[in-house]
Amino acid sequence: MGLNRIGDVLAFVRVADSQSFTVAADRLGLSRSSVGKCIVRLEESLSTRLIHRTTRSVTLTEEGRIFYEHAMRILGEADDAEAALAQRNEIPRGRLRLDLPIAMGRLHVLPVLQDFLAQWPDLVADISFSDEYRDLVAEGIDVAIRIGGAPDSRLIRQVLAPHRYITCAAPSFLEQNGIPRSFDDIQHYDKIVFSHANGVSRWRYKVNGEDRDVSVQGRLRLGNTEAMRDAALAGLGLVQLSAFLVGEDIRQGRLIAVMTEFTREEPPICAVYPTRRHLSPKVRMFIEEIRQRWRAGPPWH
C-alpha cells in the first residue's frame, strides 16, 4: 500500500473511532459517500474486509481490528514527521533549564550558552551546577550535561565528547622530584587527591589492555577539583584530573602529563534529557550548538 492511500487510512480510523460513516464524514469535511469510497478502496487494496456494515451499526472485523492498530501507528508516524518539520522552523524561546557539572559547565558549557543566548533573545536560561546526578524528570530539568553515569530508561543520551583522566604535575615539581615511570614510583611522590570520607582516592589507568584502579593517598586532600588544579600549578604534587580541566594547562606547558601510555578512555560526556516524542526547539538547538562547536574536537583537546 503506497502513500496515496494515507487518506483512506485516515478515513478508516475516523470511521472505526466513531462507528459511524456520517460522523466520520463530518470530522473529515467529506461527504458520506466519499468516506465509503475510501473504505472500499482500502479493502480492495488489502484484499480483505475491514468493516461490517448494517443499516444500524458499523463494527470492525477481526482483520479490521488488527489493521486499526497498525493504522494508528502509521498516522502517529505521519504526525511525528509533520511536527519534526514544523519544529525546524520554530525558534528557541521560553525558559531553558540546564543542570551542569560544576567545573566543566563553568569552563566549557557556559561560553557556548553565552553565544546561544545572544542568538535567541526570547530565551531565558536557568542553570544549576552539581556534580551529583539529579532527577531530571522529577525536577523538570530540560537537559543536563553528564560525565559518564549509569543508563536510565527515562532518559535519552547524546554523546558530545570523549572523557579521560590525565596524571600531571607542574614542571618545577618534576624538575625537583623526577618523572614517575611506574605505579610503584607514584607512591613515593607528594600527591594532590580528592577528599573522600575514607581518605583513599583511586587513580585510573589501563595496563596491558585492562582497566586498573590504583589506590593513592596524598598529603594534600581537597574537596574541589579546581582547587586541586591550582595546587598542582603551584607545584605541590602530582594530580590526576579530567582532561577538560587541565588540557589547556598542558597545552601551554603550565602542567606536564606523565604516564600517558597508561591513560584510558572513560565513559563519554553526554547531553541527557527526558524521553519525549518531540524535542522542543530550545533543547534540540542547544544540544546541536554544542555538537557543532565541539565537532572538530572539544576545546580542551
* Integer Cα distance of 105 and 30 in angstroms: 56
Cβ neighbors of 134 (< 8 A, separation 6 or more) are 99, 128, 141, 144
Where residue 83 falls among pLDDT bands split at 50, 70, 90?
low
Where residue 2 falls among pLDDT bands split at 50, 70, 90?
low
pLDDT tens sequence across 161-181: 999 999 999 999 999 999 998
pLDDT tens sequence across 43-75: 998 899 999 888 778 899 999 999 988 888 887
Residue type, 267: P
Closest CA to 115 of 253, 286, 263, 294: 286
C-alpha cell at 68: 486499526
* Integer Cα distance of 130 and 102 in angstroms: 6
C-alpha cell at 48: 480483505
C-alpha cell at 163: 572523557
Give the pLDDT score at 85: 62
Cα–chain center distance at 66? 36
Read off φ and ψ for residue 274, nearest 5 degrees: -65, 145
Q: What is the mean pLDDT of residues 102-118?
A: 95
Reply yes or no on whether the pLDDT at 1 is more than 60.
Answer: no
Q: What is the mean pLDDT of the chain?
A: 89
pLDDT tens sequence across 174-210: 999 999 988 888 989 999 999 877 767 899 999 888 9
The structure's pTM equals 0.67
Give the pLDDT score at 294: 93
286 and 96 in contact (C-beta within 8 Å)?
Answer: yes
* Integer Cα distance of 257 and 273 in angstroms: 34
Domains of the chain: 3-88 (1.10.10.10), 94-159+271-293 (3.40.190.10), 163-266 (3.40.190.10)
Give the pLDDT score at 4: 58
Give the pLDDT score at 182: 86
Closest CA to 226 of 239, 245, 240: 245
pLDDT tens sequence across 244-256: 999 999 999 999 9
Q: What is the mean pLDDT of residues 210-214?
A: 92
Reply yes or no on whether the pLDDT at 37 is more than 80.
Answer: yes
Where residue 151 falls among pLDDT bands split at 50, 70, 90?
confident
User: Judging by DSSP bridges, how do beta strands 58-60 and 155-169 pair with one another?
Assistant: unpaired
Cβ neighbors of 36 (< 8 A, separation 6 or more) are 21
Give the pLDDT score at 76: 76
164 and 241 in contact (C-beta within 8 Å)?
Answer: no
Where residue 6 falls among pLDDT bands split at 50, 70, 90?
confident
